[in-house]
Structure 1
Amino acid sequence: MNQPVKAVDEKFCSECGAVIKAKAEICPKCGVRQMNPPAAINLGPVASNGKSRIAAALFAFFLGGFGGHKFYLGQVGLGIVYLLFCWTFIPAIIAFVEFILFLTMSDEKFNQKYGQA
């Protein structure tokens, strides 16, 4: 089977597979508009274990009453405690304080505290 070869500045059409220029918005062969690859969401610097301070803050804000941020950071025991006491709303209050702490914490301090793999 003869496979088409593409150069560095070329790509394959997402519809017909023809070799087209990498910057082409529309395939000249089939006329289908080419979609750009989805842009990655940047949540700031990440720790060595792949955890992000901003992601932890968002988990604390939205799922903190259920311990979502604790599970995300690998603190499963504390996450279970948050789940057990979520009906008291005390974990939600603590999670809101932790949300503020995550936002004000430096990336270096976050990496020291939560960056272990």
Structure 2
Amino acid sequence: MGCKIKNTDEKFCSDCGEIIKLNAEICPYCGVRQMPAPNPFGITAPNGKNRIVAALLAFILGGFGAHKFYLGQMGLGFLYLLFFWTAIPAIIGLVEFVILLTMSDENFVRLYGQPKELWD
């Protein structure tokens, strides 16, 4: 039995072990759906946003509204920037950090994970 060597744009099928394209959703050899690689930051919403990234932004740069800009809430982001010197946005950012950390991935996707074209 020969040793299978894959290129950088390929992966092994999780079921049959054949070499398939890296972005293949279904193995062309056995027909089994391929699971995406696990993300160390949890699931990523359909619009590309991530709950853990948003929480870290709220913790580190919450006083400047970085997490609001990241989540697409530009108006609130500018409001945080306008009042950052009062430290009130920093306090609210810490509260939102805890809320984002304790929120389930499903709730995050429901609240913040829709693609922008669905908002219009």
Q: Give the structure-2-normalised TM-score.
A: 0.65
Instruction: Determine the structure 2 residue equivalent to 1:105.
Output: 103
**Structure 2: distance between partners of 1:10 and 1:69:** 39
SS in 1 for 2:55: helix
Choose which of 85, 88, 94 in structure 2 pairs with 1:87.
Answer: 85
RMSD: 2.0
Q: Which residue identity is paired with 1:47?
A: A
SS at match of 2:72: coil
1-structure distance, mates of 2:71, 2:64: 14
Q: Partner residue of 1:115?
A: 113
Aligned counterparts of 1:10 and 1:104: Cα–Cα separation in 2: 40
Report % sequence identity: 61
Aligned counterparts, 1:1-117, within 5 A: 9=5, 42-117=40-115
1:11: how far off?
Answer: 6.0
Task: Report the Cα distance in structure 2 between the residues aligned to 1:78 and 1:44, rounded to whole angstroms.
Answer: 25
- 1:92 to partner: Cα distance: 0.3
Give the AA of the match of 2:54.
Answer: A
Instruction: Look at both structures and tell me which one has the larger radius of gyration over its CA atoms.
Output: 1
What do residues 40-80 of structure 1 show as CA deviations (whole Å, max 9, x unaligned)?
97211011101000000000000100000000000011000
Normalization by structure 1: what TM-score?
A: 0.66
Q: 1:101 to 1:10 in 2, by over 3 A?
A: closer
Q: How far is the alpha carbon of 1:116 from its aligned partner?
A: 1.3
Segments of 4+ in structure 1 off by > 6 A? none
Q: Distance in 2 between matches of 1:65 and 1:86?
A: 6
Structure 1: state its 5+ residue gaps: 1-7, 13-39
Q: Aligned pair count?
A: 84
Q: Distance in 2 between matches of 1:9 and 1:66?
A: 49
